[in-house]
Chain A
Amino acid sequence: MQKITMKLNRRQALTLSAGAAFAVVAGIRTVPAYASAEDTEKRIMEFTGGKTPESGKLTLTAPEIAENGNTVPISVNVESAMTGDDMVESVIILAEGNPNPEVATFNFTAMSGSAAATTRMRLAKTQNVIAVAKMADGSVFMDKKEVKVTIGGCGG
């Protein structure tokens, strides 16, 4: 017993207790189960009908650091003439680390003029935000951005 207490100096003791406190916080946080990367992947496949999305054409704009996870502005923009086959049908927004991966689905028409939209979303924690666009000719495009969240949304 004597030996063990000798080995544990003040700094080590503090590190240990901090670690224990973190474990408790982490334990509580897992109660509202977060979506996993696999769930998100599954949702992407559902949306694209099994096609693997390519990169390019679609641009997702999100802040690198979001101070408040309750309102994070995000924008999507797809290069498209919005006529005939060169047309964006819909864009889905997904968040890997929220309780549910779905965020929103934008549906465009020829009258949209361009496939660009902006909204504000909630982010529970630092995570990847993903946008997938489905074109009228069946091709799919994806873009991904990591957003660091200082204060999480979703009423945590």
Chain B
Amino acid sequence: MATPKPRVKVPKTASAGEVIVLKTLISHDMESGQRKDKEGKVIPRQIINKFSCEFNGQPVFSCDLDPAISANPYFEFTAKVTESGTFKFTWVDDNGSTYSDEQKIDVK
């Protein structure tokens, strides 16, 4: 599997106190551990088990994922912004790797 590539959509600007919508997607097979290969052996589970979003170091939203989440996990959620800053998105893989992305927002 290619290295998972995160894609995040954050509005460039917002007004103070506004509740904005954030959209995230990461390319990942989310191998459920239920499927079998041609020889009938179970393909080991490898999924993203945790996703979190922080704004200026403060937690905004997080999610614990189970194998029932589709491949290329997609999340849409909201955040209330009061000041300019940076959103940090982190995905944690079953194999221990983490993938992250950052996006800045200007709050007027």
Across the interface, do B66 and A71 meet the contact criterion of CB distance under 8 Å? no
B63 contacts which of A72, A99, A105 (Cβ < 8 Å)? A105
- In the complex, A122→B73 CA distance in Å? 11
Number of A residues, CB within 8 Å of B: 34
Task: Name 6 interchain pairs, CB-CB below 8 A, sorted by A.
Answer: A32-B34, A70-B71, A82-B80, A113-B19, A116-B78, A120-B70
Interface string of A94-122 (1 = CB under 8 A from B): 01001110111111111111101111111
Bound form: Cα–Cα A75–B80 in Å: 19
Q: Is A53 an interface residue (CB 8 A)?
A: no
Q: Once the chains bind, are B60 and A112 in contact (CB under 8 Å)? A: yes
From residue 58 to 85 of chain A, which have CB atoms closer than 8 A to chain B? 70-72, 75, 82
Report B-chain residues with C-beta under 8 Å of the C-beta of A32: 34
B65 touches A104 (CB 8 A): yes
CA distance A82 to B17 in the complex (A): 13
12 other contacts beyond A104-B66, A122-B67, with CB at 8 A cut-off? A75-B76, A95-B68, A100-B68, A102-B66, A106-B61, A109-B61, A112-B61, A112-B79, A119-B74, A119-B76, A155-B34, A155-B36
User: Whose C-beta in chain B lies nearest to the C-beta of A123?
Assistant: B68
| Interface status of B32 (Cβ within 8 A of chain A) | yes
Contact between B69 and A103 (Cβ–Cβ < 8 Å)? yes
Q: Is the CB of A117 within 8 A of B75?
A: yes
